[in-house]
Amino acid sequence: MTRTSRANPRRWRLLVAASLFALVAAPLSATGSVAAAESMAGGEAESTDPLVALSEEVSPHSAADFTAGSWASFASARDAAVQLIEQEETTAAERTEARAALQEATDDLVMVRGLTTLVADYETRVPTDYTTATWSPFAEALTTAADVAGDPSATSSEVAAAKTDLQTAASELEPLQGSFETITNDTFWNDTDGNPIYSQGGGVFKFGDTYYWYGVHYRGAESYREDPSRKYDDQVSFVSIPVYSSQDLVNWTFENDVATTATGLGDLGGDLGDAGWVGRLGVSYNENTGKYVLPVQMWHPAHDHGVLFLQGDSPTGDFVFGNFQTQVQNSPTTGTGDQTVFTDEDGQDYLIFSNREGRSRAFVSKLSASDSLSAEPAVEVGYNADGREGNAMFKLDGSYYLAASDLHGWNSSVNHVIESTTDDIQGDYSDEYTLPGTEMDYSHVTQTGFFVTVEGTEQDTVLYAGDRWADFAWNGIGYNQWMPIDQDEAGELQFHSMSQWQFNAATGQWRVGPQNNYILNPDFQADRIIVSDLTGWTNTGGSVTNVEGGANASRFALRVSGGGTQQEIDVPEGAYALSLSARGEAGEVVVTDADGNDNVLEVPSSGDWSEHELTGIELPAGPVTVTVRSSGSGGFTVDGLSLVQQTG
């Protein structure tokens, strides 16, 4: 559960205590050692001697990660076990007794590593940056959390409750001011240290006052970034699951690889490096256990398709094996088609997914409230015989929206949406419709990735985080394309496709960026195959097609002969610059304003790609038509069209 409620803290504390009592009391054979799993990234111990195996399993434990009281009992039992192992002659009864004592001490360990990490982070907050009304309860929760983290006799339930209360108070901190930060799409993104961001098929989740972005780093992402002149669909190998943190959803700091190829698979044996596929994930916070749980698709040649559940003690720490669920009840197939995690306002977490084979059915499944390590029986909320992928959900003004893309593999499409008709997330939904704004350039040449709902001081904004699988589809530059979604005056959703925009995460407000390209599908990458009617463009006669071999080694370009194609867009008043790349016979690109005035860029014939620009185009606010045309039959080929407002 990602968000927490302060409405009934006593109820939550009772639930925490009951759940953790059951967890601590359970034997290792039933639940495994949570403390051992949290401290080990590898697989099972190799020894077949139960005492030796357990001793090896717990050997990496560090005193700094646990309360002093629980560590003292554990250290005593561990040392006694080691001494017994080193003796040449021991009885079976002695070894059984020693193992039982060590197991009990291990199960009784109280981990404070995650709470200590959170306290250290939140102690860097400055009270003058926030309103007094929200700082006071936060400061109180921080003091309590620090006391619990340093209490040698703190219980697991007290640690989980302190962590939950601290994050709840932090999530309610209200900054005195925010700033507009710039999001530039159609680029490869870097973190705050200037290193490449590799994060696909994941999600952004807010724990406390901080956003955490989890995704998968694939080998092909490195190759495509280095040379984006071809696709690398033979490099879909898993590297890691990185996590980045941010206060503003724009500037991202790399924190850790929470899972790698060396992450062990617990009772399954082996590690993630043995998996044939790892992808499509989300993260939830469970108040009962105080753990962060990461469900991710996994196909393993020895274990079929399924949902792998990893868990960690902090948002940025190492995650370890929790569970592997091969099939969610009521889904007709093992595994999932595509999946994301959605957290409702009451803190309940859900797995949003389709069935793996055919992907025709959309499901909503609760993650278990006790520990979030399994998905409960799913409820089917949508159906489309053609299949859908990239399933993801957001909530706006009390309605749930489940969005998905066409079943096009790595390629882009419009966003298909079904909308709840009641206030029940697992209730009835509307018929499917196209998300307005995504049809002009196939969702800015992306698949549905995930959504982030920002509750700002001025307005709520839904951030659409599209996945552009360019490394495997060769359909543009950059892997992450983020755009705002809002509602028009009639309450209808509207997707805003922009190459650059600015966002204020504190207020929730957004605006068009100064370098935004107003032309949609300007690189002609939206269509995954050769077509005669390009997405976002309307033919005016003659021969029109996309052709392979674009400028700057891109995949596609536009070619017109004896006619042309055009696009109508809306622009604000101002002076604009039109630019493009062209080759082949001569042609022209015309910008016609709302008053019918033409601004013509004449392009001469050229055997190779050449750059062309027309500046100082004065346009009134309103509709503008951009036309690409040629009277000849030899083919006028253009790529990289751009209409950007001039500044200064």
Domain end position, chosen among 176, 205, 230: 176
State yes or no: pLDDT of 505 exceeds 50: yes
Rounded to the nearest integer, the mean pLDDT of the chain is 93
**Residues sharing a CB contact under 8 Å with residue 154, sequence separation 6 or more, in sequence order:** 67, 69, 110, 112, 148
Q: 204 and 161 in one domain?
A: no
**What share of the chain has pLDDT > 90, as a percent?**
90
Banded model confidence at residue 42, pLDDT cuts 50, 70, 90: very low
Q: What is the DSSP string of 16-69?
A: HHHHHHHHHHS-HHHH--HHHHHH--S---S-SSHHHHHHHHHTT--GGGB-HH
Residue 648's pLDDT is 59
pLDDT, mean of residues 608-627: 98
Q: 158 and 223 in one domain?
A: no
Q: Which residue did the predictor score with more confidence, 336 or 35?
A: 336
Distance CA 616, CA 594 (A): 16
Could you report the per-residue pLDDT of 435-463, keeping only the tens digit for each? 999 999 999 999 999 999 999 999 999 99
Residue 244's pLDDT is 99
Residue 46's pLDDT is 52
Distance CA 146, CA 166 (A): 10
Residue 647's pLDDT is 81
State yes or no: pLDDT of 43 exceeds 70: no
Residue 25's pLDDT is 34
Place of tokens 């197939």: 333
In a domain, 521, yes or no: no
In a domain, 518, yes or no: no
Banded model confidence at residue 37, pLDDT cuts 50, 70, 90: very low
pLDDT, mean of residues 76-89: 94
State yes or no: pLDDT of 14 exceeds 70: no
3-state secondary structure of 324: strand
Q: 73 and 58 in one domain?
A: yes
Domain, as residue range, for 113:
1-176
In a domain, 585, yes or no: yes
Domain end position, chosen among 136, 154, 176: 176
For residue 564, give the CATH number of its domain.
2.60.120.260
State yes or no: pLDDT of 473 exceeds 90: yes
pLDDT, mean of residues 116-124: 98
pLDDT, mean of residues 186-214: 99
Which amino acid is it at 562? Answer: G
pLDDT, mean of residues 351-370: 97
State yes or no: pLDDT of 30 exceeds 80: no
For residue 415, give the CATH number of its domain.
2.115.10.20
Do residues 588 and 603 touch, judged by C-beta distance below 8 A?
A: yes
pLDDT, mean of residues 145-169: 98
pLDDT, mean of residues 380-388: 97
Q: 422 and 340 in one domain?
A: yes
Residue 48's pLDDT is 75
State yes or no: pLDDT of 1 exceeds 90: no
Q: 391 and 327 in one domain?
A: yes
pLDDT, mean of residues 126-130: 97
Q: 407 and 371 in one domain?
A: yes
Nearest to 644 by CA among 571, 587, 593: 571
**What share of the chain has pLDDT > 70, as a percent?**
93
Residue 449's pLDDT is 97
Residue 88's pLDDT is 86
> Beta partners for 644?
517, 577
Domain count, the chain: 3
Q: 252 and 142 in one domain?
A: no
Domain end position, chosen among 143, 176, 209: 176
pLDDT, mean of residues 141-150: 98
**Number of alpha carbons in the 13 Å side-chain half-sphere of residue 285:** 29
Q: 190 and 126 in one domain?
A: no
pLDDT, mean of residues 10-35: 34
Banded model confidence at residue 9, pLDDT cuts 50, 70, 90: very low
In a domain, 91, yes or no: yes
Residue 106's pLDDT is 96
Q: 185 and 157 in one domain?
A: no
Do residues 37 and 322 touch, judged by C-beta distance below 8 A?
A: yes
pLDDT, mean of residues 194-199: 99
Do residues 548 and 579 touch, judged by C-beta distance below 8 A?
A: no
Distance CA 317, CA 257 (A): 8
Q: 454 and 323 in one domain?
A: yes
State yes or no: pLDDT of 276 exceeds 80: yes
- Give the distance, in angstroms, between the CA of residue 554 and the centroid of all CA atoms in the same chain: 26
State yes or no: pLDDT of 35 exceeds 60: no
State yes or no: pLDDT of 38 exceeds 60: no
pLDDT, mean of residues 10-21: 34
Q: 138 and 192 in one domain?
A: no
Residue 265's pLDDT is 96
In a domain, 522, yes or no: no
Q: Where are the alpha helices (DSSP H) in 195-326?
A: 219-226
148 secondary structure, DSSP code: H
In a domain, 640, yes or no: yes
Give the H or E element holding residue 338. none
In a domain, 449, yes or no: yes
In a domain, 26, yes or no: yes
State yes or no: pLDDT of 27 exceeds 70: no
Q: 565 and 500 in one domain?
A: no
